[in-house]
Amino acid sequence: MVALDRIPTLLDSRSGQHALVELYGPDPLRLSGERARYARLAGLFAGMFPQHAAVRAFSTPGRTEVGGNHTDHQNGHVLCASVDLDILAFAAPNDDRVVRIHSEGYDRTDVIALDDLEPQAPERYRSAALVRGIAAGLSERGFKVGGFDAYTTSEVPKGSGLSSSAAFEVLVATVFSALYNGEGIPAVTRAIVSQYAENRFFGKPSGLMDQCGCAVGGFLSIDFADSAAPVLSPVAFDLDRAGYALVIANTGGSHADLNEEYAAIPAEMRRVAAFFGQKTLRSVRPAEFYARIADVRREAGDRAVLRAMHFFADDARVLAQAEALKRGDVDDFLRLVNESGASSWTLLQNISVSGHPEEQPLAIGLAAAQRALKGRGACRVHGGGFAGTVQAFVPRDLLGAYLADLRALFGADSPSVLRIRALGSSEILAE
């Protein structure tokens, strides 16, 4: 536990400064802002929960999808990475088996009694459902859960494609791990129970990549052959040292009314898999698919065939991307990122909404990014597609001009420069 009035002193100590740099990078202006953020959170916690004089501090990063666009739901491979925008929480245990979580910017405190760990209909689509679901998932796996009081603040913007909901889920699982299980709950287990809570309690049928990326940290290659027990392989690579910046740009497109567009992708891929008697494309051999592609066209339709072609190529690309990073071959990695982006545009077809050619903000964003990069770096759609964000790996000498071009097109707040964060969801500032 850290005394609330000791937090400013701890942040200014050598160990505190090292912790902040590890989380947020060396920029003095950014570090000054983070110190102020921590101090503000200490005051907010003290005002909300005056019975606690000391806390434990936790940070969970957002995550970015790097490789494997719409491959996870077919039991394929993905490459993701945690970023330096985080959800920060101060928490303290209590003795009444009730979790109370208040988040900065919201006027409601979630209160969850842990004596009932069944889904509650009034909590559906609310963060309280996630907390209850995580407690239930941990209990079912033999871990301990108990009450705590927490105040959170988030830098992970909603709708950014950086997985703010997954970061919150993994944060809660990490608090349970630290307070009641001696930090003994593995990262992959925290990710799995977070997905379980989102699927069964919250009501959203999400995959597992987001939670894994938030839990582990750094570049992470994931094999979803067994979705109940994914194989996680960290990939060591320093993007800053390679001379590139990671930039996410919000193109302003709305995700409203896109459920049918998103649902059609896995449905069509599964239609192709069913032709071969399989549930997902991971179980279909590419050679057999291409040998019978004329028959598959007649059975599943042309768009389904094109989307299957994307899966087979992008699934293999993830492995090649991870290997390129491991050997430090940034040029090959960037080539593969560009190939993935082109495949999403032409084969997966998740860049524009069918039937609405007059609205193509994501396509405009990609075209603008390619022009600004001048044949260098790489860019691709980030996440589900149809609306949302463009991801780019920008050479440092082009960064200023790149940001200016994207800001002129989409607004000053559109592009965000991110760093890859090596540390996953963790307790921080322990004395």
Interval 68-127: pLDDT, tens? 999 999 999 999 999 999 999 999 999 999 999 999 999 999 999 999 999 999 999 899
Give 346-402 pLDDT, tens digit per residue: 999 999 888 788 889 999 999 999 999 999 999 999 988 888 899 999 999 999 999
pLDDT score, position 256: 54
Which amino acid belongs to residue 43?
Answer: G
How is the chain split into domains, by residue range? 2-236+424-428, 244-418
pLDDT score, position 241: 94
pLDDT band at 205 (very low <50, low <70, confident <90, very high): confident
Which amino acid belongs to residue 119?
Answer: P
For the chain, the residue count is 431
DSSP characters for 282-321?
A: GGS-HHHHHHTHHHHHHHH-HHHHHHHHHHHHHHHHHHHH
CA angle 113, 200, 97 (to 5 degrees): 15
H or E element that contains 415: strand 415-418
pLDDT score, position 142: 97
pLDDT score, position 160: 61
Give 219-256 pLDDT, tens digit per residue: 999 999 998 889 999 999 999 999 999 999 999 865 55
Give the chain's mean pLDDT: 94
CA dist 169 and 176 (Å) reads 11
pLDDT score, position 159: 61
CA count, 13 A, side-chain hemisphere, 92: 16
- Count the neighbouring beta carbons within 10 Å of the beta carbon of residue 396: 12
Give 130-163 pLDDT, tens digit per residue: 999 999 999 999 999 999 999 999 998 776 667 7
CB 381 within 8 A of CB 351: yes
DSSP characters for 345-372?
A: IIII--SS-TT-TT--HHHHHHHHHHHH
Tokens at residue 312, please?
Answer: 């087979």
Tokens at residue 394, please?
Answer: 């920008």
Parallel/antiparallel/unpaired status of strands 378-382 and 219-223:
unpaired
* Paired residues of 416 in beta bridges: 248
Q: Kindly list the distances between the CA atom of residue 335 and the CA atoms of 67, 324, 325, in Å, as whole numbers in the listed order.
A: 12, 10, 12
Tokens at residue 253, please?
Answer: 């497109």
Contacts (Cβ under 8 Å, ≥6 apart) of 330: 242, 244, 324
Tokens at residue 205, please?
Answer: 């049928």
| Statement: residue 259 has pLDDT above 80 | no
pLDDT score, position 253: 63
Domain 244-418 CATH superfamily: GHMP kinase, C-terminal domain (3.30.70.890)
Residue with tokens 């597609």: 385
CA angle 166, 167, 169 (to 5 degrees): 65
Which CATH number is 2-236+424-428 given? 3.30.230.10
C-alpha radius of gyration, the chain, whole number: 22
CA dist 74 and 70 (Å) reads 8
CA dist 239 and 236 (Å) reads 10
pLDDT score, position 110: 96
Q: Which of 69, 63, 64 is nearest to 340 (CA)?
A: 69
Q: Which of 132, 256, 274 is nearest to 203 (CA)?
A: 132
- Count the neighbouring beta carbons within 10 Å of the beta carbon of residue 360: 18
Do the domains 2-236+424-428 and 244-418 sit in the same CATH topology, yes or no? no
Tokens at residue 414, please?
Answer: 């559109």
* Region of residue 217 (left: phi > 0; alpha: psi -120 to 50; beta: else): left
